[in-house]
């Protein structure tokens, strides 16, 4: 299983959105470095994440000193300052960060970010921090919908380990306490699928469960 070596995440900008992504990742048991230019903000988040540092992300030397390029994923969640967001993204690209995810204020900002090399642009109005955290930890997750404080629905691409197996063999309910509600195969949605049906590489599972159980399932089948 691919999650033996824990991925490391850095989140720059501890506004409401950045804080939400950082804490969601941290709650999944992942290593998170939180960075904000405002020392007061980093102090507020210090107990919630692995490390919290006060640094100016538009200063290349400061980011280099933090070893930012060693992080698997860097989320740039800088709030109002579009210029700082763009400059930070450029520096990260220059330093060779493997995956740069940047929050955009609007469509135009998003277009600029894509042009300068952001790997993924997110619009927080559309993407809640929690959903983004799930996308980052498991590339197989296509969508994540909160039903309540405890329960969520996740749409998850079948991983290579699942191909050719049926629901009896996978036994997701016994192993993770989650239920497969449906299997999507192309345009067809198979509600209450037969437990004997074998999964193909193109299938998408629609699974409901408690949030912690879904997280365990996602991490167990996460593919790099």
Q: Where are the domains of the chain?
A: 8-122, 127-221
Structure tokens at 179: 């239920």
Strands (E), 55-169: 73-76, 100-103, 120-122, 141-146, 151-157
**Residue 7: predicted pLDDT:** 85
**Residue 56: predicted pLDDT:** 97
Tally of CB atoms within 10 A around 108: 10
The model carries a pTM of 0.70
Q: Rounded CA gap, 23 and 32, in Å?
A: 8
Sign for the pseudo-dihedral over CA of 83, 77, 117, 54: positive
Structure tokens at 49: 């994440």
- Rounded to the nearest 10°, the torsion over CA 41, 29, 65, 73 is -100
Task: Give domain 8-122's CATH architecture.
Answer: 3-Layer(aba) Sandwich (3.40)
* DSSP assignments along 156-168, one per residue: EEPPTTTTT-BHH
Q: Rounded CA gap, 78 and 75, in Å?
A: 9
Q: What is the pLDDT along the chain (224 residues), one digit of tens a residue?
A: 234 457 899 999 999 889 989 998 898 888 999 999 999 999 999 999 999 999 999 999 999 999 999 999 999 999 889 999 999 999 999 999 999 999 999 889 999 999 999 999 988 766 677 777 777 777 778 788 777 778 888 999 999 999 999 999 999 999 999 989 889 988 888 887 888 989 999 999 999 899 899 999 998 988 65
**Residue 3: predicted pLDDT:** 40
The CATH class for the domain spanning 127-221 reads: alpha beta
Q: Rounded CA gap, 155 and 205, in Å?
A: 6
């Amino acid at each position: 299983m691919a999650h033996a070596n824990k991925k490391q995440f850095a989140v720059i900008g501890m506004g409401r959105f950045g804080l939400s992504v950082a804490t969601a990742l941290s709650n999944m048991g992942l290593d998170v470095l939180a960075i904000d230019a405002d020392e007061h903000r980093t102090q507020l988040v210090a107990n919630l994440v692995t490390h919290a540092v006060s640094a100016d992300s538009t200063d290349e030397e400061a980011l280099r000193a933090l070893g930012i390029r060693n992080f698997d994923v860097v989320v740039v969640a800088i709030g109002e300052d579009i210029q700082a967001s763009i400059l930070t993204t450029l520096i990260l690209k220059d330093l060779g960060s493997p995956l740069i995810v940047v929050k955009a204020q609007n469509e135009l900002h998003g277009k600029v970010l894509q042009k300068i090399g952001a790997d993924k642009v997110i619009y927080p109005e559309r993407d809640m921090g929690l959903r983004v955290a799930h996308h980052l930890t498991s590339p197989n997750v296509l969508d994540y919908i909160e039903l309540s404080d405890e329960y969520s629905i996740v749409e998850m691409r079948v991983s290579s380990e699942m191909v050719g197996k049926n629901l009896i063999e996978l036994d997701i309910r016994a192993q993770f306490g989650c239920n497969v509600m449906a299997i999507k195969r192309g345009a067809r949605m198979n509600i209450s699928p037969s437990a004997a049906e074998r999964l193909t590489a193109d299938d998408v599972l629609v699974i409901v469960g408690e949030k912690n159980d879904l997280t365990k399932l996602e991490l167990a089948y996460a593919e790099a």
